[in-house]
Structure 1
Amino acid sequence: MAGQGNNGNGLLERRLQELAEERRRLAMIIDGTAAGTWEWNVQTGEMRVNARWAEIVGYRLEELEPVCQKTFLKLVHPDDIVLSDAALEDHFEGRSDNYVCLLRMRHKNGQWIWIHDRGRVFEWDGQGRPLWMAGAHADVTELQQARQDAAESRQRLQAVVDASDEVAVIATDTEGTITLFNTGAERLLGYSAEEVVGQRRLGDFHDPDELAAWLRPLAAADGSLPGAFEALSARADEQTYSRQWTLRRKDGQPRQVRLSISRMDGAGGARIGYVGMSIDITEILQARAEARLSAEKFAGAFTSAALGMALVSLEGRWLDVNDALCRILGYPREELLQVDFQRLTHPDDLQTDLALVQDLLAGRRSHYHLEKRYLDRDGKVIWARLSVSLVRTEHGEPLHFVSQIQDISAQRSSEQRLFESEQRSRITLDAVADLVLSVSLDGRIDYANAAAVRTLAGDGALSLAGHKVQDVLALTTEYAPGSVLDVSVLLDPESNAVDLHADLLLRLGTATIPVDLTRAWLRDDEGHVRGAVWVLRDDTQQRARQREARHLAEIDPLTELSNRRGFEVHLQQAITRVERTGQAASLMYIDLDRFKPVNDTWGHLAGDAVLWAVASVLRHGVRDSDVVARLGGDEFAVILSGCTPRRAARIGGELLHTLASLSIPWDRDRLHVGASIGIAPLAGGMSVDQAVAAADAQCYRAKAMGRNNVQVQGEASELPGDDSEAAEG
């Protein structure tokens, strides 16, 4: 029996040794795969993970202990938790043999990394529920990025060929036989790809006479002409060859195209064929011909038009006038050409007209309409409806004005009499959904339509007549939504403090509604203003569309900061706010130092990574109310509202310090940049260009003083930063 006991102990000892050896080998295998292993109690949430599991997400195991299900959920991207739960459900219900999920986890450095998570249940409880699972994590970030890069490359290549059927793409082999004929080529030439690929050669579609004339100077000494493909490919071997050609469609119809032919080389540099890209310009050429015809027609219409017409120089001189305008103003043509339009405009209307002219020249409008008064040769007032458009050169430079002038003196007199009559009648607009109020100059409501009474006083109210408009109508503005607007601003015909079509909000209880307010002034028999009719319309949807359009047009896609267009809009608003409130504001201009070596050494992708990181530093280094913009390249700007230059200098110093410590991992190195910062105060009345120039001048001064410092207009302020290299190994 003793012997048997000894034998049993020996077997147990060998079995334990074998088990230990198996565990050692298993551990070596797991270490060799660099997998992070995990065990999970599905019922309690308890987890057991190895050090590699924590290392994959940038932690030491001790930093995460005790590890449980909540640890995992805290690290997983919120959008991927749903995917993980669905995969677990499939495994628990027997629809899959294993739990498999591709998900993102937050690395300690803040980046999202891709994890291939795989496991299975190895123990079930007595009720058939999953009890213990085991599995492994594998870091597949680089693989996922490679897949994404490959997919994007394929998409870009496909887009070149098929994104638009307006471009004909034809590729050939080295002998000129067509190997690719895209949908654009099918549309242009009327052939299907099946009719052409492998059967036709480049040059087969050219107009024979035009092609022969082009080949004739290339003839050999014996007079023989080279083949079309040979001549075209010889030009393309030197460089991309572009020319206007006439191509013949399958039905014989000629089409004018702009054809560019390029040589295609393989990976080893050997020629593998040619690719031609054609753009149909037939309609463009036809449009040009039609434009010439239109110009001739315009000349005829100008001369014979019943309306007064004139071409006016940018300085206001008449360049040409027709007979109708001469009749309206009572001048002979030669005499009228010697007088500028300002001398003929009624003094009370001149500034309005000139302001609209400036809007045209500045590009703020493409045309304008105005009812104004002219003075004829005898000094008589002529009421006219003026329509003006600006003719520009093909480069967008202003050339001259085209004016149409209609004599509406009789109509104006009739309308004035009708208008005065209508003012004496009560306007009954109860069927209108908009809010209509008639308000006297002292702010009392004379009349409110049913919609206004219902909205402002409740369903049970009968009238608002006699109430102070300030007591029932709470208007605010988008730039100061917390302050109720003094309605006297809206009762002043000379005031432009509020944009009636973009600024106003109607406060109803705790809610505010964007409204568009239209005013019509009520005048007495002598023309004096005695009140106004207001029409308030719900403008919620229109402003939402405008905000969305402005946002898409004013955001830099790389950094998600404001672009130059958005920056200029915000800067103009800040300058206006300074002028209106007197509150201080500053503009910070930031130019990165040592950014060009990053691009030159590591490439534009590294440069983009640096720009993104710098944008993040700037965004988090200022207040949410401040505007951070990328102006282009490595230039940034920050609009600091309510901020003096001295305070802005301190903020700039803090940003320099943060940028100096910024270290962007790239490949096996780390990238660093510095910055030079210029600061200028904003002042009311200054233009956007003046503000930018002032801050840019200080930035230039910062660079001249050794870079990596802050310079403030009017102060000797230098806040140095780090001067480390652009990249370290």
Structure 2
Amino acid sequence: MSHDRTDIGSGGDPALRDITERHRRLQMIIEGTAAGTWEWNIQDGRMWVNERWAQIVGYTRDELAPITPETFFRLVHPDDLAQSNALLNEHMEGRSPHYDSLCRMRHKNGHWIWVQDRGRVYEWDDAGRPLWMAGAHADVTDLQNARQDAANMRQRLQAVVDASDEVAVIATDVDGVINLFNTGAQKLLGYSAEDVIGKANPGVFHDPDEMMDYLRPQADADGRMPTVFEALTAQAAQGTWSHQWTFVRKDGEHRQVRLSISPLNCAGGQRLGYVGMAVDITPMIEVREQAYLAAEKFSGAFSSAALGMALVSLEGRWMDVNDALCGILGYTRAELLEIDFQTLTHPDDLHADLALVGDLLAGRRDHYHMDKRYLGRAGNVVWGRLSVSLVRSEHGEPLHFVSQIQDVTAQRQSSLQLRDSEQRTRVTLDAVADMVLTLDLHGQIQYANAAATRALAGEGAAPLTHGQVQDVMELTTEYAPRSPLDIAVLLDPDSNAVDLHSDLLLSVGAQLVPVDVTRAWLRGEDGQVTGAVWVIRDVTQQRARQREARHLAEVDPLTELSNRRGFEAHLQQAITRVARTGQSASLMFIDLDNFKPINDSHGHLAGDAMLWAVANVLRHGVRDSDIVARLGGDEFAVILAGCSLKRARRIASDLLESVRSLTIPWDLQRLSVGASIGIAAIGGNMSVDSAVAAADAQCYRAKALGKNNVQVEVPLGQASDPLDAVETSEGGEG
């Protein structure tokens, strides 16, 4: 401490000498840690600090005097002060054992330093109020800077992965379990990241026949073949290994890819996993098949994976490049690191490239894509498909660019591909059965494929281009078929109105067609949304199959009533309806009396006949809108929507009488049963289990009170009047 509130002399007393010695050692320990210490009289605001405390912020104690809590508040960064005060109050109120705050403080020289401030109240008065508090400051600026450097590195690596969706990046652990699946991989393979991360092995993406031919020669003496992951990572054990493979998408489509696999090691050399980078070369193969000359030019791209990566400084100098980029441009790595990208950019493309770089630095865009020409080392012109993103620090300052360059020289030279690209797209869209519409944000149709034109305007109709979508179609839902969805909302990029509905209907004239609608947004060069593409699929048969499957899963085959699964679904809907509308609803539990003797004496066929007869009584004893269910055995339930407990009791009394008077002929006898009925209100804040438990408790009461009677729960806040809240015995069985 810098100030002792008690002066301890050495004297001749051994105890005092011992205390003095321990105090001296403690003082030496504190000075040895280079920590700034402080002590605070909370009641009068006086505060003492040691010289190191002042040095941390660049002052002497005299320069800071008088030292009070305001001294600390004045030096702390305004953005950190509120949190520091909250932590201090939490400790002083006894809700935390220590005060521990990481905050920024302004140094005398004007810059900010990071300080770890820790302390504790060590003396309280008789009323439990804090009197004295002490603690220490430590300068942790270097530690925080190291953390920020690590965060910048993670951001830089993430930018490398996300800079382009033209490349699939898949990373695994050492056992082959996928732990990274970028947007390029999702686009290439059709799986979402949630489908595969932590669940799948990349071997599942390979064509099985192709891999079997590859693995069979690697079988050991016992005939055991390695797995796909084992075989491929063995090739990449010492470095990057590339090969052409056939990938199978989620929808079954086959794609040709150039796959490069590299090992991932930690700083200590321990193997962490593997990363694979796949480029879809299917379009290039198709062009080669169409034109032999183009195929010859494409062959170089196939063999080199056709993807270059570079880290570029804010001034344009190459900071780091990969082997693929060296191969594309014809330079060695050392040569590229001595020049900047401006030197290698074709003069006619440089202005547009620099303008986009300026947009990145100004924050007007997050990334950009462009096709541009590079000057190769051999004097040749290389067309590159460039994708660039800007890496920023956690505080938003620009650090460097991440560039990905794909050699598209062969594609650019293919006049056939350029000339027929739009025509092939339109022919493809006209061949699909789904309706495809391109719209601007005002609902004007920019394009409609053949299927959309036929469905919305009729066979042989004129193109729908330039018409308004709301004039030719209307979207509604099965839940509210007469309430169309607002087209303006559907064209709002921030709206999820379509995504919230799985029961969409397309209204064309008087016809309602079940459909699924998928939206994709069109963006201009400035990144702003300019329109949308809607893909509308007729799912009439799919919905019918779903309804049929749901019916089979939720109906009791004996009584044709809802089974327990269907009952729970209907009960959840009833609870939701009560919560939304406040309308009353009741739940009735019915347990047949004397049913077991029928099964024991006359067999299960007689029991089934009785259950069928009781089901008919219940079905015809309630409204069509009520839900009657058989929960299993001789237990039934009825969900009474819009029904108070008093009305439910009257309905239950009628049902009880109907069941009691029911007889069925069997082996020259007439068989009969009784029923115990319990009723409870359905509340909007209930769960399915709590609602079932409430009605079941009343049914149990009915059984306990002699069976063959109705019992109703007493609503909270009402007296337990047997005539008004509880239906007493309707006739015991004795």
| Length-normalised TM-score, structure 2 | 0.39
| Length-normalised TM-score, structure 1 | 0.39
